[in-house]
C-alpha cells in the first residue's frame, strides 16, 4: 500500500505552444481551468512558481488575499502544493542573473522575491522551495567574477534558510539555456554547495532527466548519486533527444531504457516514501487544443508501465548475471524484458 507514487506537474506544463521562432498556437487556459484538470489526469500535487499564484508586484495585503483565494481553489480540488519556485528569470531586474547579478540592487530584489516565495509557500501549507537558477551564469566568461558568484549563491540559500527555520530548499540544476554556461551546471555541483550552507540538512536537489542529459550525464546515475546522499527530494521526469535546446519531451519517448533505469533507481530507493514524482513535460507545438494534456497523461502512464517492468525484473537472474560477469546476457535479458518477452 505504501508503495504508491504521487504525481505532480506545474501549470506551465499546459502551454500555448510558443517557441523562439513562432507565436502561441493554442489559447492560454485560465489557471483555474488548469487546476480542475489535475485530478482527472491522475495528479494529486501541484508545483507552482510564485507568480503562478499571485502577481509578483502585489503588496502584502493583496498577496495574502490572492493566495487565500488560490488556496481555496486548490483545496476544493483536493490538491496539495508540492513546492513553490521563485521565478527569478523574467523581471527586468533579473536580466543579469538574480543572486549573481553584478548590481547589488538586483541581488537584493532576488533576495526579497525569494523570501516572498517562502511566505507564499507557507500560506499554501507548503515547506518546500525549488530554485532553478536560470540566469545564474554568463554568455561570456568575462562578464562576472565566477568565484564570487558561487559565494553569492551560498549567501542566497543561507538567507532563505535563516528567513524560515524549517523551509527545505532543492536546487534544480541545468547546464545551459537560457545561459551559455550556468555556474552550477550539475546536481553534483549544487550538492557540493549545499554542504557549505548554514544548514545542509535542509538543502537538497530536484533532478530533471533532460537537464542531466544536457550535461552529458545519465539521469538514473545522477538520481542514485543524490539518493545516496539523502538529497533527492523531487524529480522532473521527461526526455531529451541529444544535445540541443531543452525539449521536455514525454517521459520515455526518446530512450525507453534510460527511462526504465530512472524508474528502477527510484523504486529501489523507495522514492514513493520520499517525494512526489513530477513530470516536467511540454506538448508539441503541433498539438491541437483538445489534446494539450495528453503528454501529461502519457508520461504518467509511461511511468506506471515502466514501474511494472521494474517490479517484474527477475532479481535473482540479475544477481547471478552480475556474479558471473555475464553482462552480454544481462543486456539481452533487459532488452527482452522491456519488450515484454519473458524467459531467461
Ligand atoms: C526549465 C526548468 C523549469 C523548472 C521550473 C520549476 O528548464 O525545468 O521548468 O522546472 O521553473 O523550478
Ligand atoms: Mg524542470
Residues 107 and 212 in one domain: yes
Name residue, grid cell 508503495: 3
Residues 199 and 210 in one domain: yes
pTM: predicted TM-score of the whole model, two decimal places: 0.97
Q: Is the peptide bond before 178 cis (omega within 30 degrees of 0)?
A: yes
pLDDT at 1: 42
Could you tell me if 79 and 110 lie in one domain?
Answer: yes
> Which pLDDT score, from 0 to 100, does residue 343 have?
62
* CATH number of the CATH domain containing 177: 3.20.20.150
Q: Residue 193: helix, strand or coil by DSSP?
A: helix
The answer to whether residues 257 and 336 belong to one domain is no
CA-to-CA distance for 94 and 134, rounded, in angstroms? 10
Same domain, 77 and 98: yes
Return the residue matching grid coordinates 525569494. 114
- Residues 181, 140: Cα–Cα separation, whole Å: 8
Is 199 catalytic? The answer is: no
Q: What is the DSSP letter of 184?
A: S
Same domain as 107, residue 57? yes
Assess whether the C-beta atom of 130 lies below 6 angstroms from ligand 1.
yes
- Under DSSP, the state recorded for 48 is E
Closest by CA to 306, choosing from 253, 249, 264, is: 264
Question: What's the rounded Cα separation, in Å, for the pair 247 and 255?
Answer: 14
Distance CA 101, CA 260 (A): 39
Same domain for 267 and 332, yes or no, is: no
Distance of CA 38 to the CA centre of its chain: 17
Residues 328 and 291 in one domain: no
Structural domains of the chain, count: 2
Residue span of the structural domain in which 323 resides:
313-344
Asked if residue 132 has its Cβ within 6 Å of ligand 1, the reply is yes
Same domain, 231 and 241: yes
pLDDT for 127 equals 98
Residues composing the chain: 344
Q: Using CA atoms, how far apart are residues 240 and 90, in angstroms rounded to an integer?
A: 24
Say whether 229 is catalytic. Answer: no
Q: What is the pLDDT of residue 69?
A: 98
SS3 at position 218: coil
Residue in the structure block whose three cell numbers are 549563491: 153
Whether 24 and 36 map to the same domain: the answer is yes
Q: What is the pLDDT of residues 245-300, one digit of tens each?
A: 999 999 999 999 999 999 999 999 999 999 999 999 999 999 999 999 999 999 99
Produce one character per residue of 162-188: b if its CB has 16 or more CB atoms within 10 Å, e if not. eebeebbbbbbbbbbeebeebbbbbbb
Q: Taking Cα atoms as reference points, which of 226, 190, 251 lies closest to residue 9?
A: 251
Return phi, psi of residue 237, to 5°: -80, 135
Ligand lying nearest the CA atom of residue 51: 1
Q: Do 180 and 201 fall within a single domain? A: yes
Question: Is the distance from the beta carbon of residue 144 to the nearest atom of ligand 1 less than 6 Å?
Answer: no
Q: Are 224 and 263 in contact (CB under 8 A)?
A: no
280 lines ligand 1 (CB under 6 A): yes
Are residues 296 and 281 in contact, defined by beta-carbon separation less than 8 angstroms?
yes
Q: How far apart are CA 291 and CA 274, in angstroms?
A: 32
For residues 60 and 170, what is the distance between their CA atoms, to the nearest angstrom?
Answer: 25
Neighbours of 76 (CB within 10 A): 11
| Per-residue pLDDT, 344 | 60
**Residues 338, 261: Cα–Cα separation, whole Å:** 11
Instruction: Give residues whose Cβ lies within 5 Å of ion ligand 2.
Output: 208, 236, 280
Segments of the chain scoring below 70 in pLDDT:
1-2, 342-344
Closest residue by Cα to residue 24 from 13, 14, 15, 33: 15
- Say how far apart CA 216 and CA 189 lie, in whole Å: 14
From the candidates 50, 51, 52, 106, which is the catalytic residue? 52
Regarding whether 235 and 211 lie in a shared domain, the answer is: yes
Distance 132 CA to ligand 1 centre (A): 6
Which H helix or E strand runs over 322? helix 315-323
Amino acid at each position: 500500500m505504501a508503495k504508491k507514487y504521487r504525481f505532480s506537474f506545474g501549470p506551465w506544463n499546459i502551454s500555448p505552444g510558443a517557441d523562439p521562432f513562432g507565436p502561441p498556437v493554442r489559447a492560454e487556459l485560465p489557471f483555474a481551468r488548469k487546476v480542475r484538470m489535475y485530478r482527472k489526469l491522475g495528479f494529486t500535487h501541484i508545483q507552482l512558481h510564485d507568480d503562478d499564484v499571485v502577481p509578483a508586484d502585489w503588496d502584502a495585503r493583496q498577496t495574502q488575499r490572492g493566495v487565500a483565494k488560490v488556496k481555496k481553489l486548490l483545496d476544493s480540488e483536493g490538491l496539495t502544493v508540492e513546492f513553490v519556485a521563485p521565478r527569478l528569470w523574467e523581471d527586468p531586474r533579473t536580466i543579469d542573473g538574480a543572486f549573481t547579478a553584478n548590481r547589488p540592487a538586483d541581488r537584493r530584489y532576488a533576495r526579497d522575491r525569494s523570501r516572498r516565495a517562502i511566505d507564499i509557500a507557507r500560506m499554501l501549507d507548503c515547506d518546500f522551495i525549488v530554485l532553478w537558477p536560470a540566469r545564474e551564469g554568463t554568455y561570456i566568461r568575462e562578464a562576472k567574477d565566477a568565484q564570487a558568484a558561487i559565494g553569492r549563491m551560498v549567501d542566497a540559500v543561507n538567507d532563505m534558510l535563516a528567513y524560515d527555520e524549517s523551509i527545505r530548499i532543492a536546487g534544480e540544476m541545468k547546464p545551459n539555456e537560457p545561459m551559455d554556461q550556468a555556474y552550477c551546471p550539475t546536481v553534483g555541483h549544487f550538492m557540493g554547495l549545499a554542504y557549505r550552507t548554514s544548514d545542509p540538512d535542509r538543502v537538497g536537489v530536484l533532478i530533471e532527466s533532460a537537464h542531466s542529459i544536457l550535461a552529458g550525464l545519465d539521469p538514473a546515475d545522477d538520481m542514485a548519486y543524490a539518493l545516496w546522499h539523502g538529497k533527492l527530494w523531487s524529480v522532473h521526469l521527461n526526455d531529451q533527444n541529444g544535445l540541443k535546446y531543452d525539449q521536455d519531451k514525454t517521459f520515455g519517448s526518446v530512450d525507453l531504457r534510460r527511462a526504465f533505469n530512472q524508474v528502477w533507481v527510484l523504486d529501489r530507493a523507495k522514492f514513493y516514501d520520499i517525494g512526489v514524482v513530477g513530470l516536467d513535460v511540454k506538448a508539441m507545438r503541433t498539438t491541437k487544443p483538445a489534446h494539450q494534456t495528453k503528454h501529461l497523461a502519457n508520461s504518467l502512464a509511461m511511468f506506471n508501465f515502466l514501474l511494472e517492468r521494474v517490479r517484474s525484473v527477475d532479481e535473482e537472474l540479475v544477481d547471478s548475471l552480475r556474479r558471473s560477469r555475464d553482462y552480454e546476457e544481462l543486456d539481452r535479458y533487459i532488452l527482452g524484458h522491456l519488450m515484454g518477452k519473458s524467459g531467461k
